[in-house]
Amino acid sequence: MISVESLTKQYGPFTAVDHVSFTAETGRVTGFLGPNGAGKSTTMRVMVGLTPASSGRVTVSGRSYRELVNPGLEVGVLLDASAQHAGRTGREILTIAQQTMGLPRARVAETLARVGLTEDEAARRVRDYSLGMRQRLGLATALIGEPEVLILDEPANGLDPAGIRWMRDLLRGFADAGGTVLLSSHLLHEIEVIADDLVVIGQGKIVAQGSKSELLAAAGTLVRTADVDRLARALHEASVVTSPIDGGLRVDADPELVGETAHRAGVVLRELRPADGAGLEEMFLELTALTSRDDTAREGAAA
């Protein structure tokens, strides 16, 4: 289990992470979502001891990462697949990890096979790897110690559709076997497919968290009509909160109330359904609409 308690990280006057608290539970995949510059990568770097927190605390299985004697045996980490020695072969990089953790030599070949890197690919220098191959090697390094926790930042980046399906199955199996997975990704569909729980961050603050089913079920009603303005006025007069979305409205009310209001207003509806069917992308865009950063100068500090 990963526990984040009131975590704050400041760079001078700029607050990249602002009193963030959440838990990634054992046996579940937690999707960590947010727009560029929201504070996802900073939070994950603090988790694994690469960036000191200004205040707050992060523990993995009850201890801070810095307290772990041989961290690779307890926490598998992949934050940047490109941050690997370009002049070494894939096998050499994994062998260094094996030796550092004090693992048997056979674990190298076993792990290469687990992530789908062939003998020929393992013998190539990393400079000749595609991004997808680097992701597989990074996952191999995270998995070789057979940890109980995985912390992964954009692990599907560069993978083809078959690779994404493979990664999804691997992480689902890891969690189902009792592991803990914290997964950051901009591929919202993949998060929607694999995640059990969601944590959404914007401008360094948590804007939503909970189980995927709860968050999507609480999304209200999706309604579409040729007369959006008229329906919006009628719902407003009924003290119902609405927000525009893709030729229609997301409404903070159940479908029955929306249908009755539209009928009284003489508005013909083209679509009326619970908004959970609209999927994660629409929920994400709505939750982060007020917290997306346009100031790219800040993104490097808070990504």
The pLDDT tens digits for 61-89 are: 899 999 999 999 999 999 998 889 999 99
Mean pLDDT confidence for 238-244:
85
Give the model's pLDDT for residue 300: 47
Which DSSP string corresponds to the chain? -EEEEEEEEEETTEEEEEEEEEEE-TTSEEEEE--TTSSHHHHHHHHTTSS--SEEEEEETTB-GGG-SSGGGTEEEES-TT-S-TTSBHHHHHHHHHHHHT--THHHHHHHHHTT--HHHHTSBGGG--HHHHHHHHHHHHHTT--SEEEEESTTTT--HHHHHHHHHHHHHHHHTT-EEEEE-S-HHHHHHH-SEEEEEETTEEEEEEEHHHHHHTT-EEEEES-HHHHHHHHHHTT--EEEETTEEEESS-HHHHHHHHHHHTPPEEEEEEGGGGHHHHHHHHHHTTT----HHHHHHH-
Q: How confident is the model at residue 221 (pLDDT cuts 50, 70, 90)?
A: confident
- What pLDDT score was predicted for residue 123? 97
Picking from 160, 92, 76, the residue whose alpha carbon sits closest to that of residue 127 is 92
Lowest mean pLDDT among 25-34, 173-182, 266-275: 266-275
**Does residue 234 surpass a pLDDT of 70?**
yes
219 vs 223: CA distance, rounded Å? 12
248 vs 57: CA distance, rounded Å: 43
**Which residue's entry shows tokens 């605390």?**
57
State the chain's mean pLDDT as an integer. 89
pLDDT of 267 strictly over 60: yes
**pLDDT bracket for residue 54 (50, 70, 90):** very high
Q: Say what the pLDDT of residue 35 is.
A: 86
Residue among 26, 8, 25 at smallest CA distance from 17: 8
Q: What is the mean pLDDT of residues 38-51?
A: 94
Give the residue with greater pLDDT, 214 vs 167: 167
What digits encode the pLDDT tens for the residues 111-151? 999 999 999 999 999 999 999 999 999 999 999 999 999 99
Query: Does the domain spanning 2-209 belong to CATH 3.30.420.40?
Result: no
What is the C-alpha to C-alpha distance for residues 99 and 90, in angstroms, rounded to an integer? 14
Which pLDDT belongs to residue 297?
Answer: 40
Average pLDDT on 201-223 reads: 82
Q: Give CATH 3.30.70 domain extents, the chain.
A: 216-288
Instruction: Give CATH for domain 216-288.
Output: 3.30.70
Has residue 44 got a pLDDT over 80?
yes
Question: For residue 298, what pLDDT is reported?
Answer: 42
Average pLDDT value for residue range 268-276: 83
Give the residues across from 98 on adjacent strands. none
How many CB atoms sit inside 10 A of residue 190's CB?
21
Q: Give 234's contacts (C-beta < 8 A, 6+ positions apart).
A: 261, 262, 264, 265, 267
Question: Rounded to whole angstroms, how far apart are CA atoms 266 and 231?
Answer: 9
Q: Residue 299: its pLDDT value, please?
A: 41
Q: Where in the chain is the domain with CATH 3.40.50.300?
A: 2-209
Q: How confident is the model at residue 186 (pLDDT cuts 50, 70, 90)?
A: confident
- Name which of 156-170, 175-189, 212-226, 279-293 the model is least confident about: 279-293
Q: Which residues of 93-120 are buried (b: 16+ CB within 10 A; e: fewer)?
A: bbbebbeebebeeebbeebbeebbbeee
Q: Which pLDDT belongs to residue 278?
A: 55
